Amino acid sequence: MKSVIYIAFLIIALACDKRGAGLYLATPTAPEAIGPAKFQNPLLNAAPDPWVAQRGDFYYFLQTHGNRIEIRKTEKMSQLASASSTVVFNAPATGINSRDVWAPEMFFLQGKWYIYYTASDGQDVNHRMFVLENANEDPTTNNWVDKGQLMTQPADLWSIDGSIFEYSNELFFIWSGRPGAQNNNLTQNIYISKMSNPYTLTGQTVMISTPQHGWERNGFGVNEGPEILKNPDGDVFMIYSASYCGTDDYALGMLRLADNADPLKAVSWSKNPNPVFTKAPSAYGAGHNGFFKSKDGKEDWIIYHANMESHPNNNGCGNVRSTRMQRFTWNADGTPNFGTPVAAGAFLEVPSGE
């Protein structure tokens, strides 16, 4: 009986083998289509004044913490929340930079990294800008040297939100400041000065923007957080934040530098009459931004902070602000088109190349 069963099994096996795969291979089916990877805003909660530096394969993210400076290092901006974080500066217990450590920005200049940040001794009138330097290729290594206060010229005045502007092989510094040393005038203007090196201002200081429009004066008149943006043709724009940061109407404005013009002349800059990025539901007080390129260099992205909820009492200028990012494009006239802030929780495609 066993030999009969064995012979029958052998016949079936041989028959299946002649058909190629027979009982051993399932008919292949088309794989399910997998769409682009997605992420959601906010990227980080309690993360105001976001800034991104980009070098090689890495992005370096900084934000306001108040008493320290941290750098998050990641290869994918959509995964910022899981990026490793390194503290590179702790504010001293006392002194001119012991409190209100705000808006750090980091640049690679002349073969070294520099961080520019705002701080004070706890008194608003004493807000000033400071510089850290690191000669290591990796800025998360703890080799930072304190270069001290970045002195404004010709007088030591209230100043915050410093940033770098490289133009025509020269180095310029831009920041938000008040016209007097005392705090009885809260108006914040945007100033520019030339630099003799990455930690020293030289020559004249020029005011290139003051809050003149109603949308720049909600709460009180503010122009702050200036950031340089260049389009694919090399045209220069300065994107800045307008109105008091605690209001829902904190927004982005824009200046444009005339072609081949001297950036140290106020007439070289023209202001857009309307804001270029304003509040939306679940993104109130959208502003204080930075820019970066996608991994493959094909897309332009804006990173900014906003509030999830409306703050009608103008108290939205704190750690309730969260970091968001979204892609932007360019208009036919070369100006940036930031669109409107994307709603929190909406799914967005990750930057190309991730």
117: tokens are: 């940040």
Beta bridge partner(s), residue 52? 61
CA–CA separation, 156 vs 143, rounded Å?
Answer: 28
Quick one: tokens of 177? 């400041």
Using CA atoms, how far residue 86 sits from 34, 74, 162, 353, in Å, is 35, 12, 22, 25
Most distant CA pair in the chain, distance: 110
The answer to whether 53 and 73 have CB atoms below 8 angstroms apart is no
The active-site residue, picked from 161, 216, 224, 227, is 224
Q: Is 146 a catalytic residue?
A: no
Taking a C-beta distance cutoff of 8 angstroms, is the pair 117, 168 a contact? no
> For residue 171, how far is the Cα from the chain centroid?
20
Strand partners, 247: none
Beta bridge partners of 330: 336
Beta strand pairing call for 189-197 and 145-149: unpaired
Side-chain half-sphere CA neighbours of 33 within 13 A = 2
Decide if 216 is catalytic: no
Q: Round to whole Å and give the CA distance between 118 and 234.
A: 29
Of 49, 105, 216, 227, catalytic: 49
DSSP code for 265: S
Q: Where are the alpha helices (DSSP H) in the chain?
A: 2-18
Catalytic positions are 49, 224
